Amino acid sequence: MGSEAEAADMFKCPTCNGNVKTGPDDVVISCTYCGSTNTIDGKAIGDHLMETAVDSDERMQGFQAFLDKNKGMNKSLVKGAQVVENRLIYVPIWTAKVKADSYYKGYKTVQVPVQKTRTVRDSDGKSRTETYTDYETGYVPVQDELHTDTDERLLARKGARFYGLEEYLETINLAKTIPYDFEKIKDLEPALLNEEIGEEEFEKAIHGRVADNHRATASSGLTELFDCRTTTNVRGTTYLQAPFSLIRYKFEGELYKAAIDGNSGKVLLGEIPITRGQRIMWALMGLIGIIVSGIGGEFFMGAGMGINVLPDPDTMQIVIGIAAIIIGIIMTFAGFRVLIMTQRTKKG
């Protein structure tokens, strides 16, 4: 029993005969020993692309530059950050160009001017009829088209969720890719994620995503959308393996993370700690904001009751009061918002 269960989770590479651990939904397997890419049935994948990756030292340099840029008043952040994980992951991605054409119908409401009459009395008590313009809601039918030609990409995994991965997918540039060559990245010892979504499933998913985007665009200018029919032409479908890195680090006993473009070594998205001293400073700002808004309220209310504390009693006092209230509210909101946060999220 145990050996059968173990065999169900292993794939024997047809190229090097190595045993590769697989998941239940894997459809394309990248061998962690020789790098060959095959379907679960053992058929070799044809031409596909990859991005090269920088080594861990270059990723660390990019990470430290990100901390230094965003440290603010926390001067000890760069030296005090202890990296506990710095791994390189090659993620499977499908890319394609999608030409989409939508034809939709609906209606939108407009305010239509309508001439009406009414009876009025003049100063002498005499009645007369006058014409005036009123506005009523009208309905305008809309029949239009929507055409797009976009680059679409999709992570070929069903359940994988990594911090910053969505931002990473948007940065991938096919012009920087090369034909897949495991020898160029073998020494970096990357983790190779297998593909769980095949080409046919990708194209079906992309059709649905583009059609949903068209429907949302069409309905945004309408009161009601009756019908929206979208046809798509998917071309240039390409399988791509791209380097993504996730760094986890500790600072003052708390754990934080940063997502890194493995090709450039630059941080895409990262968490910056908020120290106790910073929270105290922001809390003081919030308290000062309460005081400032309170003073502004006294100025404003005092002007309304005729209690003048300035030479020009009305306009100036009201303006100063309103300005102080607004500034105080902003300071209070910003101060106490930071007070309850444990970290800030910053883009690289």
- One-letter-per-residue 3-state SS of 290-330: HHHHHHHHHHHHHHHCCCCCCCCCCHHHHHHHHHHHHHHHH
Residue with tokens 């009208």: 138
pLDDT of residue 317: 65
Give the model confidence (pLDDT) of 57-112 as tens digits.
Answer: 999 999 999 999 988 778 888 899 999 999 999 999 999 999 999 999 999 998 88
66: left (phi over 0), alpha (psi -120 to 50) or beta: alpha
92 phi/psi in degrees, rounded to 5: -85, 135
In tens, the pLDDT along 274-294 reads: 766 666 666 677 677 778 777
The token duo for 41 is 């049935």
pLDDT for residue 311:
53
The answer to pTM > 0.75 is: no
**Angle at CA of residue 250, ends 249 and 256, nearest 5°:** 60
pLDDT for 250 beyond 90: yes
Task: Give the up-direction half-sphere exposure of residue 94: CA atoms within 13 A in the CB hemisphere.
Answer: 24
d(CA 138, CA 223): 11
